[in-house]
Amino acid sequence: MSRLRIGTRGSALALWQANAVAALLAGHGRATELVTIRTTGDRIQDRPLSEAGGKGLFVKEIEDALLAGSIDLAVHSAKDMSVAIPPGLAVAAVLPREDPRDALVLREGRGLPSPCNVGTGSVRRSAQLSGRMPGARFLPIRGNVDTRLRKLDGGELDALILAAAGLTRLGHAPRISQAIPADECIPAPGQGIIAIETRADDASDAVWRAIDDAAAAAAFDAERAVVEGLGGGCQLPLGAIALHEDGGLVMHGIVITPDGSRRAQRTVRGGAADPAAVGRRLAAELADAGAIDILNSLR
């Protein structure tokens, strides 16, 4: 049997994710090789992603390679994926979810001064946290996790807000000064989930069922349904998370203006058997609370 070619970005975190998938496939007798692909999002480092076209810029070239047949599967951070998967492709499996929360990272041995400069590449994070960190000035920052940590430790910033999942996977969990509760900063849809994308014809392979994590898959489907229900676009100032509680799902969602002055925020509960339906209900309740008006004001 020929090796499965895994398409991935070349960052340390992307390679960690691709190697995690490779290890799982090896456990099921599938040999693999990594194919590193440089995406538009990797090349653009001089402006925020929201201005460049959104996080979907991290997946387009990899999906193109998948459609062209130069790779056999793609490994993505689920939060980078658009809800509009190109025709001919499918999400075949997701891995168990890592901690989905955002995390505050301080300079080693330092507290958080006030006022302070906090680096984040996410409008969603700065908008939600501005009211909880009144002395903070949120500054845009690009680059991989190690680059951002170097900027912090070099004194360019007083703190960072990063995904706890990425820090943990790269061995930087000790750098987390505080994991921010999800009700204080609702994470991005899909945060902490690794998704495996294949050509649609290959998605029925039994190996994907063997490595798919049902709990993460339910959260993935529910959170993507919220994004789709509000008009799509992974660059929206939107937070949504599905949590498994008492055999069902509890979903929290927020749509917020960049300055935090207007927000639509709701929580819904539903059965885990149809997670997308729970996500659609959350989207509808957010819309009724003014989310569409907020989003239209930002377009």
Same domain, 158 and 240: no
Same domain, 35 and 163: no
Count: domains in the chain:
3
Same domain, 3 and 55: yes
Same domain, 11 and 152: no
Same domain, 44 and 113: no
CATH classification of the domain holding 37: 3.40.190.10
Q: What is the pLDDT of residues 238-260, one digit of tens each?
A: 999 999 999 999 999 999 999 99
Its domain, for residue 120, covers: 102-179
| Strand residue runs (E) in 204-297 | 238-245, 248-256, 263-271
DSSP 108-133: TT----SSEEEE-S-HHHHHHHTTT-
pLDDT at position 230 over 70: yes
Same domain, 204 and 262: no
Known catalytic residue: 212?
no
Same domain, 91 and 2: yes
| Residue 258: burial class (beta carbons within 10 Å; 0-12, 13-18, 19+) | middle
- Neighbouring CB atoms inside 10 A of 202's CB total 16
Same domain, 143 and 233: no
Q: What is the pLDDT of residues 87-125, one digit of tens each?
A: 999 999 999 999 999 999 999 888 999 999 999 989 999
**Is 186 contained in some domain?**
no
pTM of the prediction?
0.92
SS3 call for 240: strand
Identify the pLDDT of residue 52.
Answer: 46
**Is 185 contained in some domain?**
no
Kindly state the average pLDDT of the residues 41-48. 58
Same domain, 170 and 22: no
**Is 184 contained in some domain?**
no
Same domain, 225 and 282: yes
Mean pLDDT over each residue of the chain, to the nearest integer: 93
Same domain, 115 and 167: yes
- Give the active site residue among 42, 46, 72, 80: 80
At residue 180 the predicted structure's pLDDT band, cuts being 50, 70 and 90, is very high
